Amino acid sequence: MPFITTPDGVEIYYTEQGSGQPIVLSHGWPLSSDAWQVELKRFADAGYRTIAHDRRGHGRSEKTYTGNDMDTYARDLAAVIEALDLHDVILVGHSTGGGEVVRYAAQYGQAQGRVAKVITAGAVPPLMVRTEANPDGLPIDVFDGIRANVLKDRSQFWRDLSESFFGANHGRAVSQGDKDDFWRQGMLVNLAAAYDCVKAFSETDFTEDLKALTVPILIAQGDDDQIVPIGDAALKSIKLVKDGTLKVYEGAPHGIQGDYQDKLDADILEWIKQ
């Protein structure tokens, strides 16, 4: 299997398909590059070199105890892109991965001239947790509860979380296979990484990263996202970027699945061509 080694010695797994301008995909928590299997094929079929990696601690990457924070995730993404010597990159990030690609682009990719465009879907920026500066955010108790459930019985928690993740509890058609695959990917994360990543995605403030972006960004999100509330995410992020396009999907959940996936992928390919 293909791996790159980060500057701090962690092995990061990646997979790629196709050839052409590179599209690099960053997955959400607690998933892996497997979450992008449909996009890997669709985007490769459309003429792009499509690459997805497993975040440290997730999937087939090294099971890490340290470095499970957004700054390190962004450095790991930089290591993947530099190891593969990618240029004119289109970055796509879902959920936690949206924060990862925004931070990478703002702090690494633009300065190196490697990034052409950024796309986020259901992404955590600008900031999820409630603070004095972010009074509309979710209370810290929400994230403490997530950590407690991960620590207590992560296997059952992934099963329970799949319901709201894909919107099955709101009547969306979600197969048992999709729910099972969410559970499968969640069980590949080592506990320390899953636990620490909650702080990374909820308490990292991406406000200055969004303001610093000079490349075009497509900010996509479903308006029935039960995991990352759209009012705290896409609707705030679009006001902070210089060259942004907002796309809201009526009734769509957090997880990229079903008709939402079909529409999002088509819109991504169309927007890239603009």
Mean pLDDT (the chain) is: 97
Name which of 132, 124, 109, 254 is nearest 197 in CA terms: 124
Strands 49-53, 11-17: pairing kind: antiparallel
Residue for token pair 């990917």: 185
Q: What CATH number matches the domain at 3-273, 3.30.1360.230, 3.40.50.1820, 3.40.630.30, 3.30.1490.100?
A: 3.40.50.1820
How far, rounded to the nearest angstrom, does the alpha carbon of residue 219 sit from its chain's CA centroid? 12
pLDDT at 1: 67
* Per annotation, catalytic residue among 26, 95, 202, 237: 95
pLDDT at 111: 79
- From residue 63, how far is each of 25, 51, 74, 191, 197 by CA, in Å? 20, 21, 17, 9, 13
- pLDDT class of 50 with cuts at 50, 70, 90: very high
Q: Could you give the angle at the alpha carbon of 68 between the alpha carbons of 256 and 132, nearest 5°? A: 80
How far, rounded to the nearest angstrom, does the alpha carbon of residue 117 sit from its chain's CA centroid? 15
Name which of 267, 269, 248 is nearest 90 in CA terms: 269
pTM across the whole model = 0.97
Strands 89-94, 11-17: pairing kind: unpaired
- DSSP, residue by residue, 186-243: HTTS-HHHHHHHHHHHHH---HHHHHH--S-EEEEEETT-SSS-GGGTHHHHTTT-SS
Q: What is the mean pLDDT of residues 203-221?
A: 98
* Per annotation, catalytic residue among 54, 224, 225, 232: 225
Cα distance between residue 87 and residue 36, in whole Å:
21
Q: Report the 10 Å Cβ neighbour count for 5.
A: 12
CB crowding 215-246: b at 16 or more within 10 Å, else e: bbbbbbbbebbbbbbbebbbebbbebbeebee
| 254 annotated active-site | yes
> What are the sequence ranges of the domains in the chain?
3-273
pLDDT at 90: 98
Q: Is the pLDDT of residue 216 over 80?
A: yes
Cα distance between residue 158 and residue 154, in whole Å:
6
pLDDT at 110: 85
- pLDDT class of 112 with cuts at 50, 70, 90: confident
Give the model confidence (pLDDT) of 140-193 as tens digits: 999 999 999 999 999 999 999 999 999 999 999 999 999 999 999 999 999 999
Q: What is the mean pLDDT of residues 207-229?
A: 98
Q: Report the 10 Å Cβ neighbour count for 195.
A: 18
